[in-house]
Amino acid sequence: MCLIILVCDVHPDYRLILAANRDEFFARPTAPADFWDDAPQVLAGRDLKSGGTWLGITRTGRIAALTNYRDPRSIRKGAPSRGRLTSGFLCGSLSAADYLEFLRREGEDYNGFNLVFGEPERLRYFSNRGDLPSSLAPGIHGISNHLLDTPWPKVTRGREAMESLVAAGNAIHPEALFAILADRTPAPDHLLPDTGVGIERERLLSPIFIASPKYGTRSSTIILIDRENRVTFVERTFNGQPEPMQTITRRFLIES
């Protein structure tokens, strides 16, 4: 996943608003979001190559979402799949505080990543590529393939669009969030980061929604958790075409 926009305890109706795009090679086998047969409390898509996930929520309100940290010079072949970190929290029983300690101990075994995890009322953040505050403060946050709130063009654009939407104070419809995630506007060259992949690829990766023949946005996911702990989860999956292949909607009340 290459973009996560989070609205933490800002909107009068929602504890949490999450809008995220997962970008991946279209050839990588993936199962769309649903409750897992082997972990029925987990609602998430699944990476069928390594078994983990990039984003999910449980019936008890545990949330985890992952992005990779883009630095091709530091990638180690044979490192464990970063998706296991997401599924490890969703399927496990460690508290968010204990999982944070686990990440601090074990995180260096993995290639670069950002992980947001916890419960709607208190989300944590950890990256094995930077030392930032571990608790997300109330506000609107964005993560792409660098550290939390790094002002890459897609992060800035996504946060600004979300700020405008939230400022109205109205009920949030998933379609309004999907419109933010569908933005294919490329960034101008002078705003592009230099992550070591070359200018052509930086251009390709700069929009919120990425479209190319072999690599791009595979899914867009919305999670809304209101003040009554009612969850709305909507995912759209793509295969390189402008229109989604399918849309999956699940609604449930967080179990106490």
Instruction: Name the residue among 40, 29, 31, 76 with its Cα closest to residue 235.
Output: 31
pTM over 0.75: yes
> What is the predicted pLDDT for the residue at 256?
83
Burial label, 142 (beta-carbon count in 10 A; 0-12, 13-18, 19+): buried
How far is the CA of 183 from the CAs of 191, 220, 224, 248, in angstroms?
17, 11, 20, 20
Domains defined for the chain, CATH in brackets? 3-253 (3.60.60.10)
pLDDT digits (tens, 9 = 90+) for 60-94: 999 999 999 999 999 999 999 999 999 999 999 99
